[in-house]
Structure 1
Amino acid sequence: MNQFKYFIILLFTVPAFATYQFDKINTDTISNEKPQKKDLKKLSYDDLHDLYFNNVGNPKKQMVYTNMYMAKAQSENNNIRKAKANYQIALLYYKTNTKKAIMYLDSVIKYSQNTGDRSFPVAAYCEKADFLKKQFKFKEAMANYNEAEKIALKTNIDYYYKVREYIGITKSEDLGEYNEALDIYKECYNYYKNKDFRSLKYAQDYQSIIFGLADCFKSLQNTDSTTYYNKLGYRESEITQNEEYKYLFVLNEGANQVIGKNYKTGLDSIKKALPKMIKYDNIGNVLAAYFYLGKGYDGVGKKTIAAENFIKVDSIYKSKKEISTEFIDGYPYLISYYKNLGDKENQLEWIMTYMTIDSTLQKNYKELNKLIHKEYDTPHLLSEKEDLIISLNDDKVKTYWGLGILFLTTIGVGTFGIYQYHLKKKYRSRFEKIIKEKITINSNEIKEKEIESTGIAEELVNAILEKLNSFENKKEYLEPNITVQVLSTAFDTNSKYVSKIVNVYKGKTFIQYINDLRIEYAISQLQENKILRKYTIHALGLEFGFNSAESFSSAFYKKAGLKPTYFIKELDCSINN
């Protein structure tokens, strides 16, 4: 489980503080506005240092202050100040550019070597080691810790024990050398026991060592000793009001209970601690929480939830590119889980992921081999991987035709489904429009220019329009077999006159005019008379003057924009709702 480490810069340069907190500088002396170079030149190293850390999160401002710090150091040819300026620049690249950060740390080491400074080059060696660990370069990391250890022993004994702790963390969490790490933690524990271990200066260091002891005993399966130190750490963190460490001990004890197969107790503790780890952005221990949740849920037989938590562990690893050997057991679990489900593709994916981690750890620190081959050694993984690939290829050959047919069918069904969806949407819109606004087809307004354009005498036009109005009001258009000749004979006039007047004043052909009248009436009657809605389409056609179901449906669609069957169905649904 990951121990919490705060920035070394604060331990080495501002030992009275454990977070980014500094006394506010005199605002009469230094303005909050962006200072001019001539103003910055008047400031001391301490003022520039404080301004740098007061502007964490604003790298542009920080660079202004550190550049002035560097310029001041160069003008005075002060090597230790040059080292501290380079250290500040390195911190700016902490999360964005590891290569540049290490380059500036090397400059810190160069300028501060043999200066006797209490902070440097020890801080630079430790930060560099931390970067190297993230790249799985454990040998190089240990070499840098050892250099820091040798120098701190001569320059600052407090820092010496911090470096010793970092070596213990590396041996425990990264190298699996738990007994060696335990000896280092005991050495540090004895040192802090003789200090004022509840003071601001030593409280967190002391609690961190207690956690290291508890975590080492947990890894050695010594659950009783683990519980003892978790309780001790919990009590100390409560006394000093250190909430993050308090819940770190809760999490560690939860993991210890899971290892001891007290799954319910363990799961309860982990669930209490996880939100706090998220709150403090303690990514390493968020990962630990998900891992032991996976172990716990597996213990109570909830294998799917266990797999979900192991997958969360992997997602954090892929995002942060950090994982310790303690947490890689989730990969064999996922391989077996998907194997039992018969899911060959996911099984192969987790084998590949596990082998990638395996090869990375082997490449950078071969002694780790013994730790990562518990359930799956490399030859076994390679064999299983090849078998799965062959099996999947066979399955693919067998299913290519099936997939092709399925694809074409899916495309066809999908296209038809989309077409039907849009058609229904269009029909629904038209239906709602019909219900809201009554369709009107009559237009008996007489326009002068239209009268003139017919070439028919005004008196005759008015007489025919009046007869058409009577024809509509009496609903004579419902009679079957109405033609322009039949109507002109009834009007005692020329069929050409009737046709011309309908064209001009109704804006449509005679057949369209008759059909629209019938459909408008059909729509109103279908809304009012529920018995009509039970008729067949053929019967409805006859009811409204049509000779067949097809001619009725066609006329209805041309006028309303939808089929009569759909209109009737929607009417029934809207009334029932």
Structure 2
Amino acid sequence: MIKKLVFTLSVTFFKLIFSQEVYSDYYKLRVGYENLEENNNKAFPLIQLYIDKAKKERNYEKLFQGYKDGIFYSSLNDQKVQYADSAIWAAKLSENKDLIGTAYLDKGVVYYYYFKKYQYALNEYLIAYQYSKNTKNDFLKYQNLYHIGVVKSYLGYYEEALSLFKNCITYYHSKTKADLHPNEIYNNKKGYLNSVHQAIICYRNLGQFKKADSLIRVGFSDVGTDKNYNQEKGYFLICKGISDYQKKLYSPAINYLNQSVSSIKIGRDFAWLSMGYFYIGKSYLGLKNDVESVLYFTKVDSIFQKHQFVLPELRENYELLIKYYKQKNDEGKQLYFTGQLLKVDSIISKDFVYLSPKIHKEYDTTMLLDEKNKLEKANSRGEYMIIGLLFLAIILIILLIIRYKMGKDIQQKYRVLEEKFVMDQEEAEKSILISNEKKSGLDENKVEELLGKLRIFEDKKEFIQKGLTINKLALQLGTNSNYLSQVINEYKGVNFNKYLSELRINYITVLLFENKEYLKYSIESLAKECGIASRQNFSDLFYEINGIRPTDFIKKRKQEMDNKIAYEH
């Protein structure tokens, strides 16, 4: 999405140039070079005049545009970076957030497209995203979405990337049919075709080959014979070649891949040139022509040597070369390509270690999807509002039904607990029956003595002590923990923890029934009141013993008391 991207600013700024200032000196200068091809240094005498004029007049929006043009027409990659830095400087002076976001995005694109430095590119994209989050310039938003999608695809997050590219396709395609300036139509079609290409990559890597082939046909149809989109046609030719290779149609694959080479070279996309060479090599390998296959695999290595970058998919290139020279007993070449493979692994590993956590940490997926939804609603607000309202209505009805059933269940449980309390308050307090039947050979006198101590322990509400354990209680009662545990198990019918929990919960339940002041307590305070340290533990035990959560019980008890007061008055 590089070629002529330089001509697109925010919609407002674009119209400023091409409507209000049609006959301005700035416009006249740009007319002199705007139809030159990309990377053509002949544009610079006029670009420099444009920049000098903007500096003199302190017109920072125009100055930004001049530096942006410098990026586009520079033939040297390092010079493009310098102009990108200058564009950021001018944009900041303009204090226009859209221009600042565009400037950072442009610099990221330079790093991505001309250097394939994904780490540097992502840093710029993330800054651009911060500036473009609240922009009304949809083109800028979708530029950012597209390039974030490219990074995600590079990392192998194909489903996430595909979701972004689908939305870019929808947006850009709609704009190619709109009543816009020719340059805007051109840029949007570029965005559309590149998004289609990236979606094909995702489908292919997800194993959805029929969908990939379908989009390839769409790409060819929409590119047509327009030479302005030769580079995009080159991408579709590569994709078609790869598709034919996967179908073992090796000769047609070579034909398509060879057709792509010239336009990809002119566009200076060395990464995809490598991809083309790699699949030409694999196709020759499929035809049992080892000599030609190795020739093209070696071309991939030559590009890697120059740029120190290779797409992860091309790692296999070196495995095939190592295998070939191993069969030829050429230890020198085998050792060399093994070293190259280690370099490839090192570069890919460094990229993935840096990029993966950064893109998830600083470009949160939820925020991205929320932004995407806002943009989609802007295009089809009426339909989405109806669907949304219907969906909310259904959810509301479901929630009301659930709430009604839960309320009815809580009411029933509260009534059961209330009836239990009213019928036998004393039994509710203790809730644990004491059996006088002699059990398992324990000394009857000692058991009776210990049970008496337990009754005193219960009557004095000593069970609300915090941090009470069976060892502490045994010590207080003058016995040992094993003997106390056996007596509680046999004569109370539960283990120590259950015994203690029931005493505490029954105690606090009685307080809530009898004293309305306790209804004002928080759950934490009620837990502490009965000796339970954890709020959650208290709530769980209350529910286990009483069949209702303490919050629901308190709510029902308050309602009952309010109704009683209202009735008395």
TM-score, scaled relative to structure 2:
0.52
How far 1:92 moved relative to its partner? 6.0
2:275 matched residue in structure 1: 288
2:313 aligned with 1:326: yes
2:157 matched residue in structure 1: 177
Mapped partners of 1:156, 1:264: distance in 2: 46
Contact 1:138 1:365 in 2 (8 A): no
The SS at the match of 2:99 is coil
How far 1:64 moved relative to its partner? 4.2
Mapped partners of 2:250, 2:322: distance in 1: 23
How far 1:323 moved relative to its partner? 2.8
Q: Of 140, 147, 165, which aligns to 2:146?
A: 165
Q: Of 319, 324, 341, which aligns to 2:328?
A: 341
Q: How does 1:479-490 map to 2 (within 5 A)?
A: none
- Where is the helix percentage greater, Structure 1 or Structure 2? 2
The SS at the match of 1:113 is helix
How far 1:237 moved relative to its partner? 1.9
Contact 2:38 2:72 in 1 (8 A): no
Mapped partners of 1:102, 1:280: distance in 2: 17
1:92 to 1:240, Cα distance in 2 relative to 1, 3 A: closer
1:280 to 1:101, Cα distance in 2 relative to 1, 3 A: closer
**Letter aligned with residue 191 of structure 1:** Y
2:104 aligned with 1:125: yes
How far 1:177 moved relative to its partner? 2.4
2:131 aligned with 1:145: no
2:137 aligned with 1:156: yes
1:197 to 1:352, Cα distance in 2 relative to 1, 3 A: farther
Mapped partners of 1:52, 1:252: distance in 2: 34
Count matched residues.
342
Could you report, residue by residue, the CA deviation over 1:234-262 in whole angstroms, capped at 9, with x for unpaired residues?
A: 22222867555345323212202323444
Contact 2:29 2:50 in 1 (8 A): yes
Contact 2:108 2:125 in 1 (8 A): yes
1:238 matched residue in structure 2: 224
Q: Which has the larger radius of gyration?
A: 1
Q: Of 333, 338, 360, which aligns to 2:347?
A: 360
1:336 to 1:255, Cα distance in 2 relative to 1, 3 A: same
Could you report, residue by residue, the CA deviation over 1:40-97 in whole angstroms, capped at 9, with x for unpaired residues?
A: xxx722223334546779988755434433333333332223333443455565625x
**Letter aligned with residue 161 of structure 1:** Y
**Letter aligned with residue 149 of structure 1:** Y
**Letter aligned with residue 3 of structure 2:** Y
1:219 to 1:355, Cα distance in 2 relative to 1, 3 A: same
Q: Which consecutive residues of structure 2, in runs of 5 or more, have no partner in the other structure?
A: 357-569
1:310 to 1:261, Cα distance in 2 relative to 1, 3 A: same
1:150 to 1:298, Cα distance in 2 relative to 1, 3 A: same
Q: Of 49, 52, 58, which aligns to 1:71?
A: 52
Q: Of 302, 308, 312, which aligns to 2:295?
A: 308
1:219 matched residue in structure 2: 205
1:197 to 1:335, Cα distance in 2 relative to 1, 3 A: farther
1:243 to 1:324, Cα distance in 2 relative to 1, 3 A: same
Identity %: 23
Contact 1:52 1:62 in 2 (8 A): yes
1:105 matched residue in structure 2: 84
Could you report, residue by residue, the CA deviation over 1:377-428 in whole angstroms, capped at 9, with x for unpaired residues?
A: xxxxxxxxxxxxxxxxxxxxxxxxxxxxxxxxxxxxxxxxxxxxxxxxxxxx
Could you report, residue by residue, the CA deviation over 1:324-356 in whole angstroms, capped at 9, with x for unpaired residues?
A: 222232111111111111001111111122222
Mapped partners of 2:72, 2:173: distance in 1: 32
1:186 matched residue in structure 2: 166
Contact 1:197 1:206 in 2 (8 A): no
Contact 1:198 1:240 in 2 (8 A): no
1:207 to 1:267, Cα distance in 2 relative to 1, 3 A: same
Q: Which consecutive residues of structure 1, in runs of 5 or more, have no partner in the other structure?
A: 30-42, 370-577
2:238 matched residue in structure 1: 251
Q: Considering only aligned residues, what root-mean-square deviation do their CA atoms show, in Å?
A: 3.9
Could you report, residue by residue, the CA deviation over 1:452-471 in whole angstroms, capped at 9, with x for unpaired residues?
A: xxxxxxxxxxxxxxxxxxxx
Mapped partners of 1:343, 1:313: distance in 2: 20
1:176 to 1:56, Cα distance in 2 relative to 1, 3 A: same
Contact 2:61 2:91 in 1 (8 A): yes
Contact 2:321 2:334 in 1 (8 A): yes
